[in-house]
């Protein structure tokens, strides 16, 4: 079954009782039992909900996985992965990560005795040299936030497997339409469903997809034990969003490439970060690993003043300044004060995040309107 067909049909057949082509929203907290323990498979909606089951089956299908688990936010999904660890365990993570992931690692789990090493995973040798006797997991984010760096999932996952490590890929920027990390050897693929999977800036959710039965059992238990699960209404909204994922992503990619090319030729832009450009250091890898290059574009304004970047953003009229990404509308973010405010200025400098960096989530509006707005804002 091809992707577009799976996006519309995976995980659900029309309701046998009514013929409904969309799954019902099972807005219930509990389920009737004929006798204690004698139930239909549904006991309590923290543990199971039919609407959530349909969404999880759909996400597993889109990622070519055996099981998917949905959480109340992307950060709850990150939390579920890190709860696989115990005090003394260590993690090797991408040098550049979403600020919320970095914050959780350093401020939540590190005080409990989990160690974190942030490594440039583009350098396989540096990754292997970082592996120690207590290393248990490698965390990749590709394309990375906000500099759109690309990690070789197949290579790092292979090295992780050789060393007995669990390999995790945050594939939020790619979505299943552009890349399927499980097919490349990763053990876990993570999504902030809030972004491209939902696609309409109206829901908060996270998800994990796996093929390994032991990992699936652990994540299933966590859903039951911790209760960080989404409600059925949110699951319904994401199911609706999935049905147009392939259509939206094609337009996101087309628009983003045109924006990136336009920015690359702009006198007031010092550098553009977009894996679809031949100038991107990992363009060749991205061409092999991804089906297209995504809807995210970051760029440095010429000069060094943060105030110039902020002023340009304040002049935007169509593009909305705001947190998040992946919606149908174009959004603009300033990483030093928004997505990566959890990093110190020194840490951002090591990552290559300048004070003049602007991140765009290029929407599906008419490309001429998007570029016109950027043109009047940047000068």
Q: CATH 3.40.640.10 in the chain, residues?
A: 3-242
3-242 CATH, one of 3.40.640.10, 3.30.300.30, 3.40.50.150, 3.40.50.720: 3.40.640.10
Tell me whether residue 98 is one of the annotated catalytic residues. Answer: yes
Nearest to 275 by CA among 294, 288, 262, 261: 294
Q: Is 343 a catalytic residue?
A: no
pLDDT of residue 369: 98
Pick the catalytic residue from 195, 248, 348, 354.
195
Give the residue carrying structure tokens 């965390």: 139
Residues 362 and 369: beta-carbon distance below 8 Å: no
Residue 17 has pLDDT above 80, yes or no: yes
Which of 73-77, 290-294, 342-346, 370-374 is predicted with the least confidence, judged by mean pLDDT?
Answer: 342-346
Q: For the chain, give every residue range classified as CATH 3.90.1150.10.
A: 245-378
Annotation marks residue 170 as catalytic? yes
Model pTM score: 0.96
Predicted confidence (pLDDT) at residue 284 exceeds the cutoff of 90: yes
Q: How far apart are CA 341 and CA 19, in angstroms?
A: 49
Across 183-199, average pLDDT: 98
Catalytic site residue from 31, 42, 44, 46: 46
Q: How confident is the model at residue 379 (pLDDT cuts 50, 70, 90)?
A: confident
71, 98, 273, 274: the catalytic one is: 98
Give the strand order in the sheet containing 206-210: 67-71, 206-210, 188-192, 166-170, 135-141, 90-94, 115-119
Q: Which residues pair with 70 in a beta bridge?
A: 207
* CATH class of this structure's domain 245-378: alpha beta
| Cβ neighbours for 7, distance < 8 A, ≥ 6 positions apart | 62, 177, 242, 243, 244, 245, 246
Q: pLDDT (tens digit, 9 = 90+) per residue, 157-190?
A: 999 999 999 999 999 999 999 999 999 999 999 9
CA distance 25 to 23: 7
Q: Is 34 a catalytic residue?
A: no
pLDDT at position 147, please?
A: 97
């Amino acid at each position: 079954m091809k992707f577009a067909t799976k996006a519309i049909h995976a995980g659900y057949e029309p309701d046998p009782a009514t013929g409904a082509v969309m799954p019902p929203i099972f807005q219930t907290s509990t389920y009737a039992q004929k006798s204690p323990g004698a139930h239909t498979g549904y006991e309590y909606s923290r543990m199971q909900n039919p609407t959530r089951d349909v969404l999880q089956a759909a996400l597993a299908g889109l990622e070519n996985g055996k099981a998917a688990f949905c959480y109340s936010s992307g950060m709850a999904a990150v939390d579920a992965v890190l709860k696989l660890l115990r005090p003394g365990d260590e993690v090797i993570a991408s040098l550049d990560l979403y600020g919320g992931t970095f914050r959780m690692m350093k401020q939540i789990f590190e005080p409990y005795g989990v160690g974190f090493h942030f490594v440039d995973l583009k350098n396989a040798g540096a990754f292997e040299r970082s592996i120690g006797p207590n290393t248990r997991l490698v965390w990749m984010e590709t394309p990375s936030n906000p500099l759109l760096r690309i990690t070789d999932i197949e290579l790092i996952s292979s090295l992780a497997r050789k060393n007995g490590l669990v390999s995790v890929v945050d594939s939020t920027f790619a979505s299943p339409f552009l890349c399927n990390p499980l097919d490349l050897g990763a053990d876990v693929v993570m999504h902030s469903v809030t972004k491209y999977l939902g696609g309409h800036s109206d829901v908060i959710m996270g998800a994990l997809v796996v093929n390994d039965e032991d990992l699936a059992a652990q994540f299933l238990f966590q859903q039951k034990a911790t209760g960080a699960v989404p409600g059925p209404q949110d699951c319904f909204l994401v199911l609706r969003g999935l049905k147009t994922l392939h259509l939206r992503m094609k337009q996101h990619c087309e628009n983003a490439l045109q924006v990136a090319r336009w920015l690359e030729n702009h006198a007031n832009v010092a550098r553009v970060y977009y894996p679809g450009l031949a100038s991107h250091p990992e363009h060749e890898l991205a061409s092999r690993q991804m089906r297209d290059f995504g809807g995210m574009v970051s760029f440095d304004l010429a000069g060094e003043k943060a105030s110039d970047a902020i002023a340009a953003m304040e002049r935007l009229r169509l593009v909305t300044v705001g947190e998040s990404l992946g919606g149908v509308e174009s959004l603009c973010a300033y990483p030093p004060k928004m997505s990566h405010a959890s990093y110190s200025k020194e840490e951002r400098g090591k990552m290559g995040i300048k004070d003049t960096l602007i991140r765009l989530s290029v929407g599906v509006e008419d490309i001429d309107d998007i570029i016109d707005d950027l043109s009047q804002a940047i000068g």
